[in-house]
Structure 1
Amino acid sequence: MPRLRKTKIPQEYSPPMAFLDVEGLSVSYGTRAGRVHALDDVGFSLKEGESLGIAGESACGKSTLGLAIMRMLQGGRIDSGAISMRGESLLDMAERRFSAEYRWKRISMIFQGAMSSLDPVYTIRSQFSEVLRQHGFEGDREGRMEEAATSVGLEPGVLGRYPHELSGGMKQRAVTAMALLLKPDLVIADEPTTALDVLVQAQIINLLKRLKKEGTSFIIITHDLSILSEIADKVGIMYGGQIAELGSSEDVYGSPRHPYTQGLLASIPKLRGEKPGYIRGSPPGLISPGSGCRFADRCPDVMEKCSTDPPKAGTKSGYAKCWLYE
């Protein structure tokens, strides 16, 4: 008989009406070996001013999710599903309208790796100015650029410098300021603290907290669960192109239900000297991931039907995609 863990079943998480809604989203990429199913039936909802943290191992589909919302998939295609903002479909919208009214204006993205997001041959001012020009900003451009720089803790003089003249933390702030230039309603932050020291990480986290208090909604993509515990209202744990567990930050950290979530949290180093846990095995290949639970081969609580029958996701407000709770 499989060993069932005694976990507290959290109360259903029911946030207010969402302004961003993702339903049944599936995305694939073509390769010589076959189509890679990077996302499979992903769904969640987000309300205005709310932050959603997305965590999981490399290649689980986190960045693809952000790029799909931005409609910036390079070589990928959306096979099925729906994405809507304030009730209007983003996937059915003409590209010209989406580019003019939504991309960067209402939804922006802080891309992973500040160095690769800034052009080394142009000053920060030139790159900021290009964003404003491309999107028809008709106000005081210099004033808007200085306002964006100041909002992330940069001196206005930084605008006249080149990327190589800035530290890693300053570059990350510049990329963040660029994403905020047009004051979007939703910001997707893909690994916003990657390759930064602990002090600069704390500064970036505090910046995101402040912007959240001002009403900006966030989707924060990261490997670091400790970061999400500080800023995310909701947490989605991704595995093998799917969201394995979704719920409030309090529920996911306080009473993790999915064995994969439990394994991830157990792997966080403890200050008390306890040895961190680990998850045996490797993630599944996404060309032919199989019909059952994608975590079955690594799960300590695996049952016979886990290898053949896919567990159901439940509602978009909170669930653990696991047969232990069916």
Structure 2
Amino acid sequence: MEGNRFETVKLATQFWNSDSETTTIIVVLSIIGFIIFFTAGFLFQKYRKERSVFEYFKRYALDRELTPEEIKLLWAYAQKMGRDPMVVLEFKAPFEKVVDLYLQENPNADERIIKDMRKKLGFEILSPYIPLVSTKDIELFQNATLIHQNKSYNATLYDKDERYMYWLLSDAIPSDLKSGDLIKIIFIRKDDAIYTVIVPIEKILNENGKIVIQTPHTFEMSRTQRREYPRVRTELPVKVFYHDEKEDKQYTLHGEMVDISAGGARICFNGKPDIIKRFKYADIIQIEFTLLDIKIKSYLKLLDKIEYANNLCIRGTFEELSAQIEQKIHEYVQKEQKKLAQLKNA
């Protein structure tokens, strides 16, 4: 009798333990199943989102006449750099960073693809009022000073490609200049700033008896603003009032303000009016123009007269400019700079 009871308790204990282990396995499998389900759902949603973004990116790129190969290239390297692909299509700086990575990873890359993309996206021409993104933006035949071991040499940007710059030396090559040496390149970009670049010499070439220094491109450039105030190009009609003291006569001239900053302006006139030839350095002339729907009357202190083939221009600084008008000019310049930053070729 006692034996039967013992067997019954033993069987009940085994059943309980077996049922507990089964329950534990079921719970663990359920948790794993939920994790797999939610992970798969998350990855699927992420894939759908990326696919949707890619389709939008693709449509936008096709509108800009990029080829499937170019679209694939920009998308892949934008992803690799962690850049927003749409920003790469819209702005020059991220575009140049992305294609630079492509060049680094592909030594035999076809540079024509990059040039074609740059042209299609409108990044081929950089406004003179927008800072350089990299040395690739330096215009051909830019004059510069090359400094090596405290000695300076005159040079001109003779040629460039997607990887290198080629600087033609006007002076005789120094005997101690060799590949691998660091050189400092300093140049003034008109309407912008003074740039300083430090790069190694890749090669020293001889082109028809002329010495050419080959250096790699770089994004690292020091920029020193030449002007106290940034300026932009304009096409603003302007009246210029000039009082000739000898004749005691007031003249009114109609011209066009071709650039402006809070510090001054440049005004050009059709033809070469004789009266302008009487303007002298430091003369004070009155001007009138409309800016942001506000009529502005101000004085310009003459700094320079510039004579071109078919017209004359004057350049000067604003005198007695009120704080309110100065602020309006700042607003106008900033507005125009934003437009230029997103300028695209038709």
Band the TM-score falls in, shorter-chain normalisation: under 0.3
Is the strand fraction higher in 1 or 2?
2
TM-score (norm. length: structure 1):
0.24
Q: Pick the structure with more helix per residue.
A: 2
